[in-house]
Structure 1
């Protein structure tokens, strides 16, 4: 995992053509201009210190380098606020290989280690009720089911699940 870079745009546009990502995701990247705008938004979040987006990469053999397999973010980080939100997605070619749970575990550990002194006590994971894959990822990553949330269109058009992971003392 590493922060997003402008050189990720081409791979992101390709991965973003996946109908499942378009269905469950909150951002649609149709072309290089959209992708560059999105990456710059991620970079602004890092600079502001309130949103930390990471490209999830897998090493490939040979000189080709790493392949984009997903994305993950820590959102709504505010000093003194006890909760922040996590979100993630996995590229179609990488699903079923444990990418999301491993990335979520890494992000969770990093978030609590980095922001505990600022008062971070819990992370919230939200997904639509019919996104069964995200529910499995939440359970595998020890995010306990908390409640059903009512739909909040347009960003959350269906009811959702709220899962919580608390910082260990």
Structure 2
């Protein structure tokens, strides 16, 4: 899979456009800063606490792209005073073709960017790309998992047309509480392109 994939999400009346691009070494400081937020750490788990941690985390994202099984994107708000932008969040497509015609998506939003529709717009861009990049026999639907006590993730799923499919039992340590599974199925009118 090409690591030069860049996706876009349109601006809204109250929020700037988004660029989704693979993470790079220059994002390490912003990554450490994002994970200083206790809300993000609560829902996403422990993240990079030092520049060395962040560098390893970015390297893991790059390795996922190279292996073709995990595609992490830095979500950057397009601002006139910042040509490369500061990451406002993260979206990821993982486990493509590992367990049948499905894959999983995940995301987080940095504290400084919450409330501007970053997560649903980024997730929608990632979903469209996934369904256009893989054939239906490889990718028929996407799953989004979150803890039941995270209503913000339910709202993001609903805004992104991921229907609630059921409740999952706890699966520590990643999911210490019951979880929700949301599913978005491929629109049959979508014509896939080769990845």
Residue of structure 1 equivalent to 2:49: 30
Which ranges in structure 1 are unaligned for 5 or more consecutive residues?
A: none
Q: CA deviation at 1:65?
A: 3.6
Report the more deviating stretch, 41-50 or 58-67: 58-67
Q: 2:155 aligns with which of 125, 136, 144?
A: 136
Alignment of 1:105-124 (within 5 A): 105-116=124-135, 119-124=138-143
**What are the residue-to-residue correspondences of 1:63-78 with 2, within 5 Å?**
65-78=84-97
In the alignment, which residue of structure 1 is the partner of 2:35? 16
Who is 2:117 aligned against? 98
- Runs of 4 or more, structure 1, over 4 Å off, are none
Q: Which residue of 2 aligns with 1:43?
A: 62
Give CA deviations for 1:64-88 in whole Å, capped at 9, x if unaligned. Answer: 5412100000011126821100000
Q: Please provide the CA RMSD for this pair.
A: 1.4
Higher helix share: 1
**Deviation, structure 1 residue 119:** 1.6
Query: Which region of structure 1 is more displaced relative to structure 2, 76-85 or 27-36?
Result: 76-85
Find the aligned partners of 1:129 and 1:80 in 2 and give their Cα distance: 24
Structure 1 length-normalised TM: 0.95
- Residue segments in structure 2 that go unaligned for 5+ positions in a row: 1-19, 189-195
SS of the equivalent of 1:96 reads coil
The match for 1:152 is 171
